[in-house]
Amino acid sequence: MRAVFLWIWYGCLITVNCTLVYGQRINQYQVEVGGLGSSDQTPFWLRANQYGTVPLRNPALRLNAGLRSDYRPVDSTGYRPKFDWGYGINVVANVGATSQFLLPEAYLKGRFGAFELYAGRRKETIGLADTLLTSGSYIWSGNALPFPKIQIAIPVFTPIPFTKGVISVMGTFSHGWFENSGRLVQGSYLHQSSFYGRLGKPSWRVRLYGGFNHQVMWAGHSDYLDPTVAANGQLPSNIKYFPSVVLGTRNPFPDDQNIQTISHFEENRVGNHLGSIDFAAEVNLNHWNLFAYRQFVYDDGSLFYGTNLDDGLNGLRIKNRDQPSGSPFFLRQITLEYLFTGSQGGDLFILEDPKKRGRDDYFNHSQYLDGWTYFGRTLGTPFLTPQQEVSSSLPPRYGIANNRVSLFHFGLSALILDKVDIMARLSFSHNAGTYQIPYLTIPAQFSGLLTASLPVRLLGGTVLNGSLALDSGGLLPNSVGAYVGLRKAGLLSNKRRVITSPRRGY
């Protein structure tokens, strides 16, 4: 779908080339209407990594509309303003078995040089991984509704001065708010930070990447917390705790009883700390681009002590650098991934022995009982499954019910007859539940998706897209589902008169 949207977008730019003139803002719109139905629960790949906008129960009629304005492009002289701003808004309405009105995006952003500040909800993924056909970046995959956040960032790889473009960096620092509705712990905050570096100029054949992200759930209160993990149900929420949230400091206030009531397994840290450490390499061949990546996961001390090194996301993206040539079949991209989260440092937790501090229980926590979720959807990879999604025949557990997973994933994107975009996702997993409540049968699960998109001449040019999905196995309810939609995208005309700056030399 993304490939088709980009095709429309570039076509609009060619047709309305006045929008490339400095001084005129480009306002893009997209509207899609469609219908969704299935034999049981909505199949996995019709809803996973869709930013929480596809309901778990259907049938449903869907309206998806968006308007955005990005930063102004470089003008004909190569000049781009140092300060600029943009916005985005996206609304989704689902009418049917589960009627919803959602606001996945509503943000304002501003740029000053290499730095960006934004406030609101915006669609994002975090981590070094493929973004088109991936099973999902481990810690922040785009599976849940976007967070309301305030974020300052270097949003793209930016060369460090005096390195001649050999070393580039990007990073984020943000504060967000968890939802209160239906959550056992309310009033919680999100802290997010990340830093990634790249070694190699964009023109080099080989480039190396590395970095980390740090996620913290902190603050809040609940009537359901045991006194050993919270004082009177209240978790440390004052601004004075924020530096220790950011730094992950142990026991920052020894005389503070709110800290001392935190259970010993957190070593008196404020909040639930988790994330990933990522490495990647990119190679440009004559006709293909290769991108290999590995995400190491941390959710406790196991990564520090080297006891959960088997866990993580491994991926290889193979992208075609050539342009479509009119052949009957043109392969755009293949993505292969293997996700394993079954170790978690082992099945023992002995505080006094660092080599036996296992049972990390990824995405679950003894204080934040709802787990690493937002409005019931997993924030990280959707293959770590919340209780509401798994089969009712499996033993129940609140929060993330299945976090010990072995997954093989295949993705493909291609163009048929120089006209029809197709995309496929095929995923096969074995699932062991959690150490606390294991699945003794280790249910296997297959989830597949085939999507096709075709430009048509309706309404001056639209895209007809359809998807067919299947779930078969012991983890999720067996289900077959389909989606058919019609999407139109383009640019809103700008009536404002544009005065171009003179070219040098005239």
Q: What tokens does 79 get? A: 């000049």
pLDDT tens for 321-330 read 999 888 899 9
- pLDDT over threshold 90, residue 236: no
The residue assigned the tokens 């049972």 is: 359
Q: Tell me, what CATH number does 121's domain have?
A: 2.40.160.130
Rounded-to-integer distance, Cα 209 and Cα 295, Å? 12
Distances (CA, A) of 131 to 91, 138, 238: 22, 12, 37
Residue 502 CA, chain-centre distance (Å), reads 43
Check: pTM over 0.85? Answer yes or no.
yes
Domain span at 10:
2-219+271-492
DSSP letters for 116-183: EEEEEE----BSSS-SSS-S--SSB-S-SPPPEEEEEEEEEEEEPTTTTTSEEEEEEEEEEE---TT-
Q: What tokens does 14 get? A: 């060619």
| Model pLDDT, residue 313 | 98
Rounded-to-integer distance, Cα 257 and Cα 265, Å? 17
| Model pLDDT, residue 16 | 34
DSSP state of 361: -
Any domain includes 244: no
DSSP state of 237: -
pLDDT tens for 402-416 read 999 999 999 999 999
- Terminal-residue alpha carbon distance, the chain: 44
Any domain includes 410: yes
DSSP state of 3: H
Any domain includes 252: no
Any domain includes 227: no
| Model pLDDT, residue 81 | 86
Q: Which pairs count as long-range contacts for 227-230, CB under 8 Å and 24+ apart, including other chains?
A: 227/261, 228/261, 228/263, 229/261, 229/262, 229/263, 229/366, 229/367, 230/261, 230/262, 230/367
Residue 231 CA, chain-centre distance (Å), reads 34
Confidence label for 80 from pLDDT (cuts 50, 70 and 90)? confident
Handedness of CA 244, 113, 110, 488 (dihedral sign): negative
Any domain includes 229: no
Domain count, the chain: 1
Least trusted range by pLDDT, from 90-94, 227-231, 257-261, 452-456: 257-261
- Type and span of the H or E element at 10: helix 2-15
Any domain includes 265: no
276 within 8 A of 212, measured Cβ to Cβ: yes
Section 421-443 average pLDDT: 96
Instruction: Give the burial class of 289: count Cβ atoms within 10 A of its Cβ; 0-12 exposed, 13-18 middle, 19 or more buried.
Output: middle
Any domain includes 421: yes
Rounded-to-integer distance, Cα 296 and Cα 343, Å? 12
Residue type, 166: V
Any domain includes 28: yes
| C-alpha count within 13 angstroms, C-beta hemisphere, residue 314 | 9
Rounded-to-integer distance, Cα 143 and Cα 382, Å? 6
Section 364-383 average pLDDT: 95
